Amino acid sequence: MPNAKAYSATSPTSPLALTTIARRDVTAHDVQIEILYCGVCHSDLHQVRNEWSGFLPTVYPCVPGHEIVGRVTKVGPAVTKFRAGDLAAVGCMVDSDGTCPECLAGLEQFCPNVTFTYNLPDKHLGGVTYGGYSDSIVVDQRFVLRVPANLGLAGAAPLLCAGITTYSPMRHWGVTRGKKVGVVGLGGLGHMGVKFAHALGAHVVVFTTSPSKKEDALRLGADEVVISKNADEMLKHAGSFDFILDAVSAEHDINAYINLLRRDGNITLVGAPEKPLAISAFGLIMGRHSLSGSPIGGIAETQEMLDFCGKHNITADVEVIPIQKINEAYTRLLKSDVKYRFSIDMASLRSE
């Protein structure tokens, strides 16, 4: 079995550090990928620090990373979608049962037997799956995506989670030309939401608490920026939004945004605040508004998203770091001190 270099955490409080992990030999349907870039998602940090212990306890050592782009180095004999030398990408899932109604509907993210890219049982090697903070990975071709050749790879990596997480609900709730779309929170997810809503032809309004983000929001594709603390500015938009993407993980007043929806408007949460949200029933009833959530997207839709990005030349705005800076990056992530996503250049791991 080939070994791989990786960065792992051995406990909730230990920093990530160099280790060696096993990857399987390619089986008939497998694609072996040399990882070139891996985005840094806030979920990586939650999992590494076991902050989701009630939902998905962390098994150590933990190798996070589910925003993976790289180059195919080897394929199994039954692989038809890829050949050595191709660009390839892997997102949050590496397997599913393939037979349940969700899988048959192309919605593998809802499969009861889905295998996430890290921290879920690895049916090939035992133990748990190891993610993309590594120099290579082996994945069934069903879960390997094609990367349009025109995209910068460092910025393409975050599309695999931040991208699909914001693209999917916009498609699901019908964001198209002529719709008015709000994006709450301009971070790793939110900045992708702005780019997608703009490229889909919507009128895009960014809500932020920081006037300093205004210029950047406009650069990313916003048509307007509203300082959410300004009640007068908020009131001007009352009852006018078809769709709002709420990408804020911190506690905040969602009712203020529900009131901005037009009749039948929807607000979708893609950030998950830890504490329950306090929701006024009246705000939902009065305009037949809906509040929903959305997790990533299926494989077919992830490919659709990547192809859309190729067509519109969309990537994430990233700060490229060597893997040796990952612990520092986590500290900065907690302060939202990144515009807008860290992307690890995995050459730094190979040379270590």
The stretch near a copy of itself (CB under 8 A) out of 147-155, 156-164, 183-191, 275-283 is 275-283
DSSP 128: B
Among 83, 236, 263, 311, binds a copy of itself (CB under 8 A): 263
Closest approach of a copy of itself to the CB of residue 112, in Å: 8
The interface region with a copy of itself, picked from 126-134, 192-200, 287-295, 299-307 by CB under 8 A, is 287-295
CA–CA dist 95, 6 (Å, integer): 21
Tokens 């030398």: give the residue. 85
For a copy of itself, which stretch binds (CB under 8 A), given 58-66, 283-291, 312-320, 341-349? 283-291
Q: Is 178 in the site for a copy of itself (CB under 8 A)?
A: no
- Scanning 3-11, 77-85, 195-203, 263-271 for contacts with a copy of itself by CB under 8 A, the matching segment is 263-271
Residue 164: which H helix or E strand, with range? helix 162-172
86: tokens are 């191709």
Other Cβ atoms less than 10 A from the Cβ of 189: the count is 27
Structure tokens at 321: 């770091």
Shortest reach from residue 342's CB to a copy of itself, in Å: 23
What part of residues 51-80 is at the interface with a copy of itself (CB under 8 A)?
55
Q: Is 43 in the site for a copy of itself (CB under 8 A)?
A: no
Q: What are the CA-CA distances from residue 230 to residues 6, 109, 236, 256 (Å)?
A: 46, 38, 10, 11
Out of 59, 153, 218, 272, name the contact with a copy of itself by CB under 8 A: 272
**What are 258's two structure tokens?**
């529900």
192 touching a copy of itself, by CB under 8 A: no
What burial class does residue 192 get, using C-beta atoms within 10 Å of its C-beta: 0-12 exposed, 13-18 middle, 19+ buried? buried
Measured distance CA(175)–CA(11) in Å, rounded: 42
Segment contacting a copy of itself by CB under 8 A, of 85-93, 113-121, 183-191, 273-281: 273-281
Q: Which of 138, 291, 309, 326 binds a copy of itself (CB under 8 A)?
A: 291
Rg (CA), the chain: 20
**By CB under 8 A, residue 236 contacts a copy of itself:** no
Question: Is 113 one of the binding residues for a copy of itself (CB under 8 A)?
Answer: no
Nearest to 204, CA basis, from 241, 163, 168, 161: 241
Verify binding: residue 348, a copy of itself, rule CB under 8 A: no
Q: From residue 217, how far is each of 57, 142, 317 by CA, in Å? A: 36, 36, 12
Q: Which of 80, 278, 335, 351 binds a copy of itself (CB under 8 A)?
A: 278
> Cα(342)–Cα(48) distance, rounded to whole angstroms?
16
Figure out which of the listed residues 209, 255, 336, 348 binds a copy of itself, where binding follows CB under 8 A: 255
- Of residues 118 through 177, those in contact with a copy of itself by CB under 8 A are 172
Q: Rounded to the nearest whole angstrom, what is the least distance from the CB of residue 92 to a copy of itself in the complex?
A: 13
Spatial separation of the C-alpha atoms in residues 132 and 219, rounded to whole Å? 30
1 or 279: whose CB is closer to a copy of itself? 279
Beta-sheet pairing, 68-75 with 30-40: antiparallel
Task: Give the interface size with a copy of itself as a residue count (CB under 8 A).
Answer: 33
Residue with smaller CB distance to a copy of itself, 56 or 153: 56
Beta partners for residue 137, in sequence order:
33
Q: Which of 106, 282, 312, 334 binds a copy of itself (CB under 8 A)?
A: 282
Closest to 192 in 3D by CA, of 171, 161, 237? 161
Binding residues for a copy of itself, per CB under 8 A? 55, 102, 107, 110, 172, 255, 263, 266, 269-273, 276-295
